[in-house]
Structure 1
């Protein structure tokens, strides 16, 4: 196979991938009423997004637009099913990873997205459920952990009403430390915020 053939093959694969992402995003704009169908669709979107690299091409950015728009609609952000909310959070996290240099939403929308994420974490079901396993992972690179720490510090600084249990769980997951160390760290932050 010549280099021209390989390049052509890659372009065809890229176009097909762009098409799949755009189609899935368009389906999210008018989500299925069945929770099982919606969960399947959100799983598909999340899996597709996981393969998109940061700083995507113009055609990929265009293909992402339906998903970017759909994920912040009331149909998804206000959904009552926790598993749906968790998958929406997972997809939003993928979108923000992909568009890391260029925020995918306006400031007010980002504020609403962060509030939604915090609310989902506050109401996270038991650790053995599908929802918990979907968000909490242990194989993040150090750069991601550092960014997560910065974001969580900003959220904590701006928040007045985050439960201590939630904070302890978040820090335990990110830092892989024991609960007592996280508790001390959270108490230090809380103490600093109260002064």
Structure 2
């Protein structure tokens, strides 16, 4: 009984914090600094919310979901605000998966904003680096990218691939590289339409080495080596010859 009471009191305190931060977002007259402060507080609160939260927390989150889905936040021009909005939205998706928190048209903008936040991962000294890696971590852990597949946002998936290839660096933590690897691997396993273009992109990087860093090339090579047998199964005989994969399993 004591444990239940403690949990209830904890939920009530978190509910108040989430509700307060969500209500603050509804004030149209907020300055940029006040808006940023409210969003940062909301992001902290949402990080404390577990999946399948209590009804008390769910009710508080409902107001937040509506506020974050408004165009005035999704289309905010200031990059620092957009990044923290993407953190909040990533947490909302984490909490609600496998349910989709928004209608399709809003969901597309939400996912675009999260993919946009991955630009900048190359600079691990930037103050925003941890916010960007948090979004990537949530995407990998919850497989929220599957929403892009379910909603047939193939172009957005390809944009994400190009972004990850452009941003990866040798000095990155292994966890970050593993998240990138896992996301692309699962996408290739999930979707036939988009994975064909992704295979071509990976193979093109491997064969030409053009317009990519040495780390991106090593990433593509490692990926192909791991998936080589599957690639051979999925490519036509003409494509195998074109990519030079028909003779030896060694790259």
> What TM-score range do you get, normalising by the shorter chain?
0.7 to 0.9
CA pair 16-159 structure 1, distance change in 2 beyond 3 A: same
Q: Which has the larger Rg?
A: 2
TM-score, L = length of structure 2: 0.60
TM-score, L = length of structure 1: 0.74
CA pair 139-29 structure 1, distance change in 2 beyond 3 A: closer
1:109 is displaced (CA, Å) by: 1.5
Specify which of 154, 161, 164 is matched with residue 158 of structure 1: 154
Match of 1:179 in 2: 216
1:26 is displaced (CA, Å) by: 1.1
Match of 2:103 in 1: 106
1:14 is displaced (CA, Å) by: 1.5
Contact 2:21 2:38 in 1 (8 A): yes
Query: What is the alpha-carbon distance in structure 2 between the residues aligned to residue 99 and residue 15 of structure 1?
Result: 19
Where do 5+ consecutive residues of structure 1 fail to align?
none
Structure 1 vs Structure 2 CA RMSD = 3.8
1:85 is displaced (CA, Å) by: 0.6
Counterpart check, 1:21 vs 2:18: yes
Where do 5+ consecutive residues of structure 2 fail to align?
170-175, 182-214, 240-251
- CA deviations 1:54-78 (Å, max 9, x no partner) are 0112221111012111112122111
1:42 is displaced (CA, Å) by: 1.0
1:135 is displaced (CA, Å) by: 1.5
CA pair 121-150 structure 1, distance change in 2 beyond 3 A: same
Match of 1:90 in 2: 87
Query: What is the alpha-carbon distance in structure 2 between the residues aligned to residue 165 and residue 128 of structure 1?
Result: 22
Count of paired positions: 186
Contact 2:119 2:167 in 1 (8 A): no
Specify which of 5, 10, 13 is matched with residue 8 of structure 1: 5
What secondary structure, in the 3-state scheme, does the structure 2 residue paired with 1:33 have?
A: coil
Larger RCO, structures 1/2 (Cα 8 Å, 6+ apart) = 1
Query: What is the alpha-carbon distance in structure 2 between the residues aligned to residue 133 and residue 16 of structure 1?
Result: 26
1:52 is displaced (CA, Å) by: 0.5
Query: What is the alpha-carbon distance in structure 1 between the residues aligned to residue 120 and residue 75 of structure 2?
Result: 14
